[in-house]
Chains A and B, each alone.
Chain A
Amino acid sequence: NAGVTQTPKFQVLKTGQSMTLQCAQDMNHEYMSWYRQDPGMGLRLIHYSVGAGITDQGEVPNGYNVSRSTTEDFPLRLLSAAPSQTSVYFCASSRGRATNEKLFFGSGTQLSVL
């Protein structure tokens, strides 16, 4: 059972480059989200989706775009990478939106922007 799959695991970009972080889940989860993890700041929500075709902004959305064309996939796009976007990125999903639904996490993407 694959769960939540993120690719790539590591990525180095130059300032100004664009790229897409891929996220796919095979659990038919309704809710998907992207977080970034920075030292001393925990995980901060970038964008989330409550179903195909529905996305919304989290706490730190600037510089990132998302789309949800299928239930399974939720890619995160960096439009013009900046050094401030150097971070570890996690995709996470849950079966539903209820307050008792735990998130299942991907293994993370370590991104460095030079």
Chain B
Amino acid sequence: AQKITQTQPGMFVQEKEAVTLDCTYDTSDPSYGLFWYKQPSSGEMIFLIYQGSYDQQNATEGRYSLNFQKARKSANLVISASQLGDSAMYFCAMREADYKLSFGAGTTVTVRA
């Protein structure tokens, strides 16, 4: 079974608008970590934000915030005030107690001027 599901293969967003990238996960572990990574066209993997399963508050890092809904097993990434440099592929990932980090298929975001 898929551990991480990203249902949006591609999205377009207007510059300066906000965009939400969906991510659902599947685990029976009580302790786990959720991560978002950005992969620009140059190919490197850039860490954006982390949310722990026991964290009470949603994580925020600058223009990035993570909408964590534990009961729904959802960890959506919100990018506020989109910039042209936000055009990239975005991956949701989960780390469980077995040490491994599992990735979703990714969502490509294209920011339009």
Chain A residues within 8 Å of B, Cβ to Cβ:
31, 33, 35, 40-45, 48, 50, 58, 88, 90, 92, 97-105, 107-108
Contacts of A33 in B (CB 8 A): 100-101
Q: Would you give the shortest CB distance from A47 to chain B, in whole angstroms?
A: 11
Contacts of B33 in A (CB 8 A): 98-101
The answer to whether A102 touches B103, judged by C-beta atoms less than 8 angstroms apart, is no
Chain B residues within 8 Å of A, Cβ to Cβ:
4, 6, 9, 31-33, 35, 37, 43-45, 47, 50, 52-53, 91, 93, 95-97, 99-106
Contacts of A101 in B (CB 8 A): 33, 95
Q: What 17 new A-B contacts, CB under 8 Å, besides A99-B97, A108-B44?
A: A31-B99, A33-B100, A40-B9, A40-B105, A41-B105, A42-B103, A42-B104, A45-B100, A48-B99, A48-B100, A90-B45, A99-B32, A99-B96, A102-B50, A103-B35, A103-B47, A107-B43
Give 25 pairs: A residue, B residue, CB < 8 Å, sorted on A: A33-B100, A35-B103, A42-B4, A42-B6, A42-B91, A42-B104, A43-B103, A45-B101, A45-B102, A48-B100, A92-B101, A98-B33, A99-B31, A99-B33, A99-B95, A99-B96, A100-B50, A100-B52, A100-B95, A102-B35, A103-B45, A103-B101, A104-B47, A107-B43, A108-B44
Q: Would you give the shortest CB distance from A58 to chain B, in whole angstroms?
A: 7
The answer to whether B91 touches A97, judged by C-beta atoms less than 8 angstroms apart, is no
- Beta-carbon nearest neighbor of A99 in chain B: B33
Given A105-B45, A108-B44, residue A58 in contact with residue B95 (CB < 8 A): no
The answer to whether B52 touches A108, judged by C-beta atoms less than 8 angstroms apart, is no
Contacts of A92 in B (CB 8 A): 45, 101
Contacts of B102 in A (CB 8 A): 45
Contacts of A99 in B (CB 8 A): 31-33, 52-53, 95-97
The answer to whether A105 touches B44, judged by C-beta atoms less than 8 angstroms apart, is yes
